[in-house]
Amino acid sequence: MTEGFSEQIAERYDRWYETPFGRWADGLEKALVGELLGPSPAERGESSILDIGCGTGQWGLWLAEMGYQVTGIDISESMVARARVKLGEQATVEMMSATELEFADNSFDHALMVTLLGFVDEPEAVLAEAVRVARKSVIVGVVNGQSMLGTWYKLKGMLRKRDYKRPHFYTPGELARLVRQVVSASGKSGEISWRGALCLRQLLWRRSARCPFRGFIGMRVDLEGHQSTGSDADVK
């Protein structure tokens, strides 16, 4: 499955970030994840973060520029090669499976995975590993399966011949149930909260708006037992 993330796909990923939609969506997704991460590393001392399924390093670069001490891992050789070029000395990038992270328990302040979970065969194992290596929080970003964007991607996936596994698009409730189940099995305790970004109103009026069908969901598991983000949408 993951071997399917070839050089061709890696190149396509980087190109998407340069399209008008890609730039718009990326900006809103990063703003949302930034809110979930809370105060910047400079404000609270050094903060380490593991970017799981780091792809071509788009998120790693943003995190490094904010002052995070970034480690990225990905199973695809092509993705890792591109991430290493993009990040240079600003981050460490390793080829590794998200189901078997080669890091000790509580090695990082935060663990982040953006649009990874829908692509893996063992989402529980991936989440469990993230919870194991993170001290403060785990942040999961997914395309919302009950949004217009998720529906569009699903339709596109059905019509097109794909050269990699068709992703699963989580709904917020489904993701919350999975995260809650993994956290409770981990022996750690965690508060879960989430927010959404990307909806038609944001596209038309270019400002943040409440919308029941936001295309991108950012979910935070706060392993320190408190929420630092002022989330507007706690999990029911």
Ligand X SMILES: C[S@@+](CC[C@H](N)C(=O)[O-])C[C@H]1O[C@@H](n2cnc3c(N)ncnc32)[C@H](O)[C@@H]1O
Nearest-angstrom CA–CA distance, 195 and 35 = 9
Stretch that binds ligand X, among 109-117, 132-140, 178-186, 221-229 (CB under 6 A): 109-117
Q: Site mask, ligand X, residues 115-134, x = CB under 6 A? A: xx--xx--------------
Examine residue 202 and tell whether it contacts ligand X (CB under 6 A): no
Task: Give min distance, CB of 13 to ligand X, in A.
Answer: 6
Closest CB to ligand X among residues 8, 189? 8
Residue ranges in 68-87 that form contacts with ligand X under rule CB under 6 A:
74-76, 79
Residue ranges in 3-32 that form contacts with ligand X under rule CB under 6 A:
5, 13
Task: Give min distance, CB of 165 to ligand X, in A.
Answer: 9
Task: Give min distance, CB of 119 to ligand X, in A.
Answer: 5
| Total number of residues that touch ligand X (CB under 6 A) | 20
3 state SS for 64-122: HHHCCEEEEEECCHHHHHHHHHHHHHHEEEEECCCCCCCCCCCCEEEEEEECCHHHCCC
The residue among 230, 137, 153 whose CA lies nearest residue 198 is: 153
Nearest-angstrom CA–CA distance, 123 and 146 = 19
Closest CB to ligand X among residues 36, 116? 116
Q: Site mask, ligand X, residues 139-158, x = CB under 6 A? A: --------------------
211, 123 in Cβ contact below 8 A?
no
Q: Judge residue 140's burial from the number of C-beta atoms within 10 Å of its C-beta, 0-12 exposed, 13-18 middle, 19 or more buried.
A: buried
